[in-house]
Amino acid sequence: MKAGAHGSDDTQTRNGTRIKILLTSLSAMVAETSTFPIDLTKTRLQLHGESQSLSSTNRPTNSFRVASEIVREQGVFGLYKGLPPAILRHLFYTPIRIGGYEKLRNSVSTDGSLSLSSKALVGGLSGVIAQFVASPADLVKVRMQADGRLVTRGLQPRYKGPFDALRKIIAMEGFGGLWKGVFPNVQRAFLVNMGELACYDHAKRFVINNQLSDDNIYVHTLASFMSGLSATTLSCPADVVKTRMMNQAVGKEGNLMYKNSYVCLVKTVKIEGLTALWKGFFPTWARLGPWQFVFWVSYERFRQIAGLSSF
């Protein structure tokens, strides 16, 4: 009987894990599609100015101007350039980081009494693993988003689609080229998830444990708002470096603008100033806030419908 009960528990655990993977993927797809135009604007804004060392003709810009130029040159659907690889990325990235965080958290403390610093470490480690796996899809997404700048200049984009981008990157830069920018990518993932997961989890439990509110949509909204602000503040400098590292392709002479993350960081600060490291802060926050809201509210609701406990 005990063996049978143990086997039944294992089956239920596996089924629960599969359901959580499905629900995180579904919630991430909804959130990504809803907020992708803001992410595209953020990426273009972060890339703006990186050629100032070669030309002084770049004029100051902002999120509204960037988004307006995209719509004017490419139409409304231009705001969704790079969406397929972004969704593909989240099919790997989000289930690994969310599931990994919950698994590690519960293995260390079953009652959720971990300190904020411990939750931050667990969140960061989960993000590192997830981002390393999903880095190729993230690279393709950034390259395709940046391609829209070529279209506005009357030039042909580098890639026809995500699979064409994968093929060309491997052909020109080798299989390892799919992990270009992986170190700033992983650094950013550590900071994002350290702020996002730990802050959401801690804020939610703080409100509930102090009986300020029940476990409902209001708590999820407040916690997601706090986690988005925390994640943006911590990760924006690494995000700028990551975007620029991943966007650069090998030139005909094999030259690169940035040899590594440190060179990219120094050049960015030297040419554009320290505040350039927070380029795209408001569109990043404007995107992370709604993304967090849509994802966490959807995910918590889906878990409730599926008969699973709250995150």
Name the most confidently modeled range: 59-73, 103-117, 147-161, 211-225: 211-225
Residue 152 confidence (pLDDT): 64
What is the maximum span of the chain, computed from C-alpha positions, in angstroms? 77
14-31 mean pLDDT: 90
Using alpha carbons only, give the angle 29, 32, 36 rounded to the nearest 5 degrees.
145
- Tokens at 75, concatenated: 């139409």
Q: How confident is the model at residue 1 (pLDDT cuts 50, 70, 90)?
A: very low
Question: What are the φ/ψ torsions at residue 174 (nearest 5 degrees)?
Answer: 80, 165
Residue 95 confidence (pLDDT): 94
Residues 117-153 pLDDT 10s: 999 999 999 999 999 998 888 888 878 777 766 666 7
Residue 264 burial (CB count, 10 A): 23
Instruction: Give yes or no for residue 54 having a pLDDT over 80.
Output: no
Residue 239 confidence (pLDDT): 79
How far is the C-alpha of 199 from the C-alpha of 120, rounded, in Å?
A: 8
Residues 70-99 pLDDT 10s: 888 888 888 887 788 788 888 889 999 999
- Residue whose token pair is 């509210």: 297
Residue 253 confidence (pLDDT): 64
How far is the C-alpha of 169 from the C-alpha of 296, rounded, in Å?
A: 34
192-201 mean pLDDT: 92
| Candidate from 54-58, 134-138, 176-180, 250-254 with smallest mean pLDDT | 54-58
Instruction: Give yes or no for residue 56 having a pLDDT over 50.
Output: no
Residues 207-257 pLDDT 10s: 998 888 889 999 999 999 889 888 888 888 887 887 787 777 666 666 777
Using alpha carbons only, give the angle 179, 80, 54 rounded to the nearest 5 degrees.
60
Q: What percentage of the chain exceeds 90 in pLDDT? A: 25
* SS3 readout for 260-288: CHHHHHHHHHHHHCHHHHHCCHHHHHHHH
Is the distance from CB of 9 to CB of 289 less than 8 angstroms? no
**Could you tell me which residue, 110 or 38, shows the higher pLDDT?**
38
